Structure 1
Amino acid sequence: MKRTGNRRMAQLGPSEIRAMTQACAKAKGLNMAQGVCDTPVPLPVIDGAKRAMDRGVNTYTRFDGLAELRQALADKLEQYNGIEANPETEITVSAGATGSFHCACAALLNPGDEVILFEPYYQYHLTALHAVEAVPVVVRMQAPEWTFSLDDVAGAVTDRTRAIVVNSPGNPSGKVYSRAELEGIAAIAKRHDLFVFTDEIYEYFLYDGRRHISIATLPDMAERTITIGGYSKTFSITGWRIGYSVAAERWAQLIGAMNDLLYVCAPAPLQMGVAAGITELPESFYRQMAREFQRKRDRFCAVLTRAGLTPSIPQGAYYVLADVSSLPGTTGKERAMSLLDKIGVAGVPGEAFFSGPEGARFLRFSYAKTDVDLDEACRRFEKLC
């Protein structure tokens, strides 16, 4: 028998986000493709990790994370999200929010299960579903507000549907789901006995007075919701890979077993750094961060508008989808490469986030940049005006 790769890999092509990051590096351009969040790391986070290393917290942790971090997360979940979670049985620390999502999919989904995914979607959500041989079923949202029909969601449910994925605030759309939208999704999930996997990693990046709502806090939703979060973005530590999931004990046991199999544990001293950040940083840190990113959003979207690349103004997170149909090319990749060649700025082709041809007219940009880099990006886009 000839040796071949796993058949699932045929659906798991290389990430366009990383492909454009590599193209940007080759061109020595300015990378606005990947959400690396190169803003400064808060000192309590750095100091907490250093103290842990000095104290010898450098070996394996429990499969679901250090007690200090699980307790810090439980306190934060109660105070900020309104979620009551037992740190001993319902919280699993994993290798980033992406790792948490993968563990949940692998633990709770069977091959052939259908999962409803809102489009535009985060590419790694799609590929994680493919990796466990689940079947994504797309419900399209409409620019520029990224609205959707609850009738479309209900119509997408079949007898094979197992879960709905919600990403709020959303990547790449910046959409923040309203309470009415979440209540509608919750009603469908309860009616058909579905899981809801909710990625809330951008929960603190909220603009124009919006508030974050965790769907697990809605009536009768805690038992069926897998709440996923992390601090890669909030603390600018994307390379640390510290995420978590919250689920009812019976689901958390399965997710924890999968986490143990795939990752053993998240990096021990870095867990302590995140725990320190959660417990030591004041509420004003999060409010100030949101204000600073709203300022970045407003500035960057204004220059995109002047350049004729109309943005869908994000309500949260730190990405913007811009209509780049005025740029040369017929595909998002051609337009992305044209922009990189002309002004030396990299964005992600919209096809990474859309299943149909609509993606060709969008590029995604991340404005999680230092002020110096954002100044330079705006200067370069001004050349298109």
Structure 2
Amino acid sequence: MKPLAARTDALRQSDIRAVTFEVNRVGGINLGQGICDLATPTPIVEATVAALRDGSQIYTAYNGTQALREAIADKAMSFNGIPVEGPESVVVSTGSTGAFLATVLTLFEPGDEVILFEPFYGYHAGILRLHGIRPVAVPLTKGGGRWTFDPDRLADAIADRTKAVLVCTPANPSGKVWSEDELAALYAEVERHDLWVLTDEIYEHMVYDGRRHLSPASRDGAYERTITLSGFSKTFNMTGWRLGYAVAPAEVAEKIGLVNDLTTICAPAPLQHGLAAALPLPEAYYTQMLADYTAKRTRMVDALRACGFDADPPEGAYYVLAGLGDRLGTPGFENARTATTTLIETAGVACVPGPSFFADPADGDGHLRFCYAKEASVLDEACDRLVDAFG
């Protein structure tokens, strides 16, 4: 037989998927994969059921239904402060990953380089590599309980083949929320070198302690070079629905939409119709969601600290990237992967090993990522198991 494409040679099942299978094997609790198994809001479910019954089963336009794109454009202007032209600046996709894929195929050629800030979301790096694009990691600095951005490190990483910078805010896995000063320093470098900016803002409604989510594209002069990626999976607990979107200047969005047409035709039609009919949800929904996640964040951090891990409350999203602390190198905790196995086998609780989020896996060996997007009773049970086993 002829060989498979060379781009598949290095492909392996991600740690995120692997730990899910392992914890399911022992009937444990999965705090690894960000599956967010909370209930989808009732208005969205009911509107989608009505859309299914009304026969909304045919293809939509390749860039999404008019109603959903209008709702996203309105939200991009009112919540994010992005100066979109209108629904023509929006592409609805099969999850935010679909939006990222279409954007990658629209902007980059094989051999281009894209800068990611480390620790980074592994799927971003994986998709870039799959298409012959080199991810370049710029480490963030951890100090005083938060991850900070050093503009000099960014400047040093920019090379002739650099075409874009990818910003995740709030960030998976670190929980970092980018500040106005940090974004100003980043765009100074971006403009100096005429680079694109891709942003992943899917956790935009999960920002704690009075902080405010800042969309990079809302900055003066930033919209023209910024593609904003987001979706509904995390905010509305619908990860399996696969609905995301890209927001970009209209002429760029048109190309992203045409690529989207060639890769997936369109996002699931009934789900688009149902979601559009239910939006916008009342402000009380977001207020309660943030209050619930704030309490769960505290529960998760307290349990990890009781186990001897180094755990700081994240600024945003719903993950704790904890350090192994003095446990690193001890029996069962020789490195992050053995620690992950120990937690599954001893406590029946899964997390994701830190090497998944670093260019050099050794740099992540002292970290584990825990997801607290669970029902309160399930999270309580997981935390109790951890403390009973390791506290």
The TM-score bracket by the shorter chain reads: over 0.9
1:362 aligns with 2:363: no
Which residue matches 1:276? 277
Kindly state the Cα deviation for residue 11 of structure 1 after the two structures are TM-superposed. Answer: 3.4
1:284-303 map, 5 Å: 284-303=284-303
Is 1:340 the counterpart of 2:344? The answer is yes
Deviation at 1:366, TM superposition (A): 0.5
Amino acid at match of 1:157: I
Alpha-carbon RMSD across the aligned residues, in angstroms, is 1.2
Aligned partners of 1:222 and 1:376: how far apart in 2? 45
Is 1:129 the counterpart of 2:134? The answer is: no
C-alpha distance in structure 1 between counterparts of 2:150 and 2:87, whole Å = 39
Contact 1:12 1:130 in 2 (8 A): no
> Is the CA contact (8 Å cut-off) linking 2:353 and 2:367 kept in structure 1?
yes
> 1:148-206, CA deviations, whole angstroms, 9 ceiling, x for partnerless residues?
21110111111111000000000000110001111111111111111100000000001
Letter of the structure 1 residue corresponding to residue 246 of structure 2: S
Alignment of 1:61-76 (within 5 A): 61-76=60-75
What TM-score results when the alignment is normalised by the length of structure 2? 0.96
Aligned to 1:329: 333
Partner SS state of residue 255, structure 1: helix
Count of matched residue positions in the alignment of Structure 1 and Structure 2: 383
Which residue number corresponds to residue 138 of structure 1? Answer: 137
1:246-276 deviation per Cα after TM superposition (whole angstroms, max 9, x unaligned): 1112211221111111110111111123223
| Residue aligning to 1:223 | 224
- Give 1:300's aligned amino acid: M
Instruction: Write the mapping of 1:5-154 to structure 2, written as runs, cut at 5 A.
Output: 5-143=4-142, 144-154=145-155
Secondary structure of 1:5's match? Answer: coil
Secondary structure, aligned partner of 2:125: helix
Hey, what's the Cα distance between the residues in 2 that align with 1:278 and 1:203?
17
Alpha carbons 2:121, 2:173 under 8 Å: kept: yes
Distance 1:133 1:107 in 2: 14
Q: 1:104-161 deviations in whole A, cap 9, x for unaligned?
A: 0111111111111000000110111112211111100123411121110111111111
Quote the residue 1:254 is aligned against. 255
2:161 is matched with which residue?
A: 160
Give the alignment's TM-score, normalised by structure 1: 0.97
* Preserved CA contact (<8 Å) 1:11 1:130: no
Q: Deviations over 1:327-364 (max 9, x none)?
A: 62333211100111110100001110012212011111
Q: Which amino acid aligns with 1:359?
A: G
- The residue matched to 2:204 in structure 1 has which SS? coil
For structure 2, which runs of at least 5 residues remain unmatched after alignment?
Answer: none
Indicate yes or no: 2:193 matched with 1:198: no
- How far residue 80 of structure 1 moved from its aligned partner, in angstroms, is 0.4
Q: Secondary structure at the match of 1:57?
A: coil
The ranges of structure 1 where at least 4 consecutive aligned residues each deviate by more than 6 angstroms after the TM superposition are: none
Q: Which amino acid aligns with 1:185?
A: L
Per-residue deviation, residues 71-115 of structure 1 (Å, max 9, x unmatched): 111111111001132344210000101111111011111111111
Equivalent residues of 2:37, 2:375 under 8 A apart: yes
* Cα deviation, residue 299, structure 1: 1.2
Distance 1:296 1:221 in 2: 35
Once residues 322 and 277 of structure 1 are traced to their aligned partners in structure 2, the CA distance between those partners, rounded to angstroms, is 37
- Indicate the residue corresponding to 1:376 in structure 2: 381
Take 1:173 and 1:53, find their aligned partners in 2: how far apart are those partners?
A: 38
Q: Does 1:188 align with 2:162?
A: no
Runs of 5+ consecutive residues of structure 1 not aligned to the other structure: none
Give the distance between the partners of 1:117 and 1:11, measured in 2 at CA: 20
For the residues of structure 1 that align with 2:262 and 2:279, how far apart are their CA atoms? 27
Distance 2:62 2:85 in 1: 16
- Equivalent residues of 1:171, 1:319 under 8 A apart: yes
Check whether the contact 1:42–1:277 (CA below 8 A) recurs between aligned residues: no
